[in-house]
Amino acid sequence: MRQLRHRRLTAVLAVATLLLTAAPSTAASAAARPDRQPGYHRVGYFTQWGIYGRAFTIKKLDASGAASRLTHLNYAFGNVSEDGRCYVDGGPGEGDAWADYQRPVSADESVDGVADAPGQALNGNFGQLAKLKAKHPGLKVLISLGGWSWSTYFSNAARTDASRKAFVASCIDLYLKGNLPGAPGAAAGVFDGVDLDWEWPNWDGEPGNVIRPQDRENFTKLLAEFRRQLDAYGRTTRAHHPLTAFLPANPATMDAGYEGRKIFKYLDFATVQGYDFHGGWEAVANQQSALRVPAGSPDNPDFSVEVAIDGWIDRGAPRGKLVLGIPYYGRGWTGVTGGGTGLFQPATGPAPATFEAGYEDYKNLKTLAGNGYTVHRDLRAGHAWLFDGTTFWTYDDPAVVLQKTLYIRRAGLAGAMVWSLDGDDDNATLTRTIDLGLTTR
């Protein structure tokens, strides 16, 4: 019976993958397709910096068909100042106001085909987000605050009742009310809500982050203040303004930084890290996003999607507010020895890649299959990898993504989140796979 179920799953995944990759979409067909109605959440992160090296513009979300298959778009990232305020800055490492709202967008890169006019109040990504929302009125756009690099001063912002009130007010003023520096109200209506990406309360993140033991309870209080002020603002706009948060996969981090059940009182939903379980910072080639801990794993305990989701459920999280994070990139190692499929074998370091050693977009990894690399799968554990005898890449292809959507449905979760949309190919293959797996038929 187990072998029969295994064969059926293999067949379903194979057929679905063939359907998703056989026929590329056109901009016309993508634009004509009606937006999905909210059911399962489909959340995608758009990276501010993706417009540069990856040349991934907001227009591509529309042309590829991705936008019509998302319910929420998280813009990464907004920064937090040392004195606990939301702010934008063009200073190196502090922000990119040019990309956010100053860059004049050409007609070729514009969602509606109209170039930004000289001197208009809103340009750049924010202006294009406004056009994308006009075309896809069901899409909710959230400003995601923090991230790995900009969580440095979250603890300062959350420290006291006064600091929390001031921080939340500054974020609503800047992003929801759209009061950009020198252009009051210019970005009003671009953002519908806030995503908190504090990495991590009372736990090590990027070196230099401010960390306090009180972060755990202060995170809950910060959520409560966001909910209070967002609801008050919503009474003036006659709209609900969503509040979400990105949560870790590590059970130890969960315990150190979060009050389990309490935080979900204030959140519309939370996205759970489903990736970065292992990477080139380690000396053994491994999985970075497996659904379950693979047999033979050298680490005990180990990380997996199931470990992360079960960890939050065990701590009181409602299933219906958990959204599973799925990576649109892979982690890689080179100098892999020991033979076999490369899995769990020693490596000399991170694999060479386009932008960052050990990190490569799905759209580039998919071209390796058959070009010197063999695709390997563990259907029980729910992960795949590429190996050429020396270099190893662990990644999510359409078959793995579809398997994860089946898990989301079976586990009663709220949907899927992706980091990040610029890793997908021009046909939005992975986003289409999520849509296929989560659409009720």
Determine the pLDDT at residue 34: 40
Reported for 371-376, long-range contacts at CB under 8 A and 24+ positions apart, including other chains, are 374/341, 376/341, 376/342, 376/343
> Nearest CA to 326 among 241, 253, 424?
424
> Nearest CA to 394 among 436, 322, 345?
345
> Nearest CA to 143 among 213, 74, 81?
74
* pLDDT tier for residue 4 given thresholds of 50, 70 and 90: very low
Enumerate the active-site residues: 199
- Alpha carbon distance 225, 218 (integer Å): 10
State pLDDT tens for residues 378-422: 999 999 999 999 999 999 999 999 999 999 999 999 999 999 999
Phi then psi for residue 47, to 5 deg, are -90, 130
- Check: CB of residue 234 under 8 Å from CB of residue 241: yes
pLDDT at 12 over 60: no
How many other CB atoms are found less than 10 A from the CB of residue 238?
6
Q: What would be the CATH architecture of the domain defined by 39-333+400-438?
A: Alpha-Beta Barrel (3.20)
Bond preceding residue 200 cis, omega within 30 of 0: yes
Determine the pLDDT at residue 441: 59
Determine the pLDDT at residue 92: 86
Average pLDDT, the chain: 93
> Nearest CA to 50 among 29, 39, 66, 38?
66
Structure letter (DSSP) for residue 116: P
Mapping DSSP to helix (H, G, I), strand (E, B) and coil, where does residue 75 land? strand
Residue 361, C-beta contacts closer than 8 angstroms, at least 6 positions apart: 54, 328, 329, 354, 422, 423
Instruction: Find residue 43's DSSP bridge partners.
Output: 72, 417
> Nearest CA to 376 among 359, 389, 361?
389
State pLDDT tens for residues 337-387: 999 999 999 999 999 999 999 999 999 999 999 999 999 999 999 999 999
Which pTM value belongs to this model? 0.93
- Check: CB of residue 227 under 8 Å from CB of residue 185: no
Instruction: Find residue 78's DSSP bridge partners.
Output: 145
Domain boundaries, the chain: 39-333+400-438
Determine the pLDDT at residue 21: 40
Amino acid at 264: F
Q: Which two tokens stand for residue 216?
A: 């755990």
Secondary structure element (H or E) that encloses residue 403, with its range: helix 398-411
State pLDDT tens for residues 200-252: 999 999 999 999 999 999 999 999 999 999 999 999 999 999 999 999 999 99
- Check: CB of residue 219 under 8 Å from CB of residue 262: no
pLDDT at 160 over 90: yes
